[in-house]
Amino acid sequence: MRPLEGIKVLELGQLIAGPFATKILGEFGAEIIKIEPPHTGDPLRKWRLLHEGTSVWWASQSRNKKSVTVDLRSTEGQAIIRRLLKEVDILVENFRPGALEGWGLSEEVLQEINPELIIVRVSGYGQDGPYRDLPGFGLVGEAMGGFRYLSGEQGRPPVRVGISIGDSLSALHAVIGALMALRHREVQKGGGQVVDIALYESVFNMMESLVAEYSIFGEVRQPAGSRLPGITPSNAYLCADGKYALIAGNGDSIFKRLMSLIGRDDVANDPAFAHNDGRSAEADYIDSIISQWTIQHSLDDVLEALHENRVPAGRVYDVEDIFNDPHYKAREMLIQGELEDGTEVTLPGVLPKLRKTPGSVERRAPTLGQDTEEVLGKIGISATELSELRAKGVI
């Protein structure tokens, strides 16, 4: 039995942050009822590469979910949502602040409908503050949270990390908040509450010592490319075959083993480099020593030597490397699923890994409105009513 069996979640979000959060909840047993606009559905259905008209991203993001079409702009649609809310434990939404209120679904109304309801709200800037009404997509959160400033190389424009990291971090914080609120409700009998997730704050929470360094030293951390500033050595080093080895020799004993391996016992035994602060003061020099060694050998030979000497190191994986890697396979991080037409597709595995109550994929991503009749029928909407609502375009 999965740990969230018996928990019902209503998803009013779209695209990434809210739906990624419910994906995780669904993999661990929660029943996910995803509300989509009739006819168009979640825009993610059309994002990136499409197979037979539907994004293959959809197969990963919406597995274990039920799709119910409801027009939230209509009075009848809002009435349906109110009825559904009486039956669920968690509401996850990632519309702009004020959207729910405009549909007659304010926090006060939601809590009156269901006092035990946990309301997870994901937005760019949060539900209050001077910026709450500004448009807030993931890239804005990444910029305001401090991440984009640090990405790339000094003196060059900030770069995007390559994935929607701001949205995904917000989703993870949403899951954490929902689980904490569930515990408060179930163990402490505290009833429902609002979990307010801001994209920029989810990114900001990852910024390590950024604030403390500025507070004490006035230090404004700068982008540093592949180097990890102040933690030495930790960088990408070019090998003879044109590939890069990522080497983290920054532990004191690890550094000594690394220097001995590359024939530099003089550096290994130099008291000036015994600890990280001394090494970081001469980071350019140490990086040059390591580079002189790696450029003489292929990446495979470099990694073999480093691993034999217990120095943390790795290669830069692309997706082909991931597909062919035995560790990914052994850890079941690549699993087989199906697209809407039955085509087999490889998808990411389920995380986190729980030994006693692991998550799983029980059903493929739904077609648009696939579960409308089933879900709405369970809350007492008759077949006749469903036909009428469909004729009106409400569902």
- Catalytic machinery residues: 167
CB 179 within 8 A of CB 7: no
50: three-class secondary structure by DSSP:
strand
Nearest CA among 57, 28, 26, 25 for reference residue 44:
57
DSSP state of 129: S
Selection from 3, 119, 11 nearest residue 65 by Cα = 11
Are the beta carbons of 240 and 303 closer than 8 angstroms? no
Output b/e per residue, 181-199; b: 16+ Cβ within 10 A: bbeebeeeeeebbbbbbbb
What span, in angstroms and rounded, lies between the C-alpha atoms of 194 and 348? Answer: 30
Is residue 93 classed as helix, strand or coil in its secondary structure?
A: strand
Question: What whole-number distance in Å separates Cα of residue 229 and Cα of residue 308?
Answer: 26
Cβ proximity of 231 and 170 under 8 Å: no
